[in-house]
A and B are shown apart, each in its own frame.
Chain A
């Protein structure tokens, strides 16, 4: 491409100057040749200019690319240097003051454990309370339904609470709850 451009440039200059200086203007066919060569010279010069412009644009793009690559490399080196410096600083701190480092780590660990325990307790407590409330409501509903059907107390307690009649504390608690529910509904 460059060779073509140089050849076209040289041809343009040659076609411009040689016929004008070598040929006689007074001779008809000489004059015609001069005109033709001048036209051809203009075409050669414009073509060479276009090629040169294309090459200049390509060279500019290549320069931009190489600048971008250089900037990337410099940035990468700077980042790695910064990170390694931080690592060295942390290692130096750890070596110089291991007790303080250990205490800080333990304190952080304790705080984390406490926080996670609190969160877990809250998470566990909330559904348990909800569950017990829901269970009580369900039992009350079921017991009242059965009572409306005409079931007896002992049978209802056996059905709803799963406790058979007797003097056991479970039966007594179920009986007390049954009574409370019946009184509330009445």
Chain B
């Protein structure tokens, strides 16, 4: 059951990524906004990898959990964007 709930949240992340892609396709300004959001998110993601011990202490989770969350987020974004671009 734990795998089910983790899987469902992962699918929700994938769909959210596709939704952002859909929003970006609506207007050039929306595309720029989403591109800016994606760039900022990617920078924060990289900083979280670099400062994993500090961030895990701040979020009160273990380093392993933080790394799993970062990888799952990256995978969900990639899958969602891929599905939207390939469709």
Q: Which residues of A contact B (CB under 8 A)?
A: 5, 8-9, 12-13, 15-17, 20-21, 25, 31, 34-35, 38-39, 41-42, 45-46, 48-53, 55-56, 59
- Per the bound structure, the CA–CA distance linking A15 and B18 in Å amounts to 12
User: Binding site of A, secondary structure by majority: helix, strand, loop or mixed?
Assistant: helix
> B8 to A41, Cβ gap below 8 A?
no
> B1 to A55, Cβ gap below 8 A?
yes
Tell me the B61-75 residues at the A interface (CB within 8 Å): none
> B83 to A16, Cβ gap below 8 A?
yes
Query: Distance in Å from the Cβ of A67 to the closest Cβ of chain B?
Result: 17
Tell me the B1-24 residues at the A interface (CB within 8 Å): 1-2, 4-5, 7-9, 11-12, 14-16, 18-19, 22-23
> B5 to A52, Cβ gap below 8 A?
yes
> A12 to B4, Cβ gap below 8 A?
no
- Per the bound structure, the CA–CA distance linking A46 and B5 in Å amounts to 9
> B22 to A49, Cβ gap below 8 A?
no
Query: Distance in Å from the Cβ of A61 to the closest Cβ of chain B?
Result: 12
> B87 to A21, Cβ gap below 8 A?
yes
Query: Distance in Å from the Cβ of B12 to the closest Cβ of chain A?
Result: 4
19 CB < 8 A contacts A-B: A5-B8, A9-B4, A16-B15, A20-B18, A21-B87, A34-B22, A35-B19, A38-B18, A38-B19, A39-B19, A42-B12, A46-B12, A48-B8, A50-B5, A52-B1, A55-B1, A55-B5, A56-B1, A56-B2
- Per the bound structure, the CA–CA distance linking A13 and B5 in Å amounts to 14
User: Binding site of B, secondary structure by majority: helix, strand, loop or mixed?
Assistant: helix
B14: chain A residues within 8 A (beta carbon): 16
Query: Number of B residues contacting the other chain (C-beta, 8 Å)?
Result: 21
Cross-interface CB contact of B12 among A20, A31, A49, A53, cutoff 8 Å: A49
> A52 to B8, Cβ gap below 8 A?
yes
> B8 to A42, Cβ gap below 8 A?
no
Query: Distance in Å from the Cβ of B81 to the closest Cβ of chain A?
Result: 12
> B83 to A20, Cβ gap below 8 A?
yes
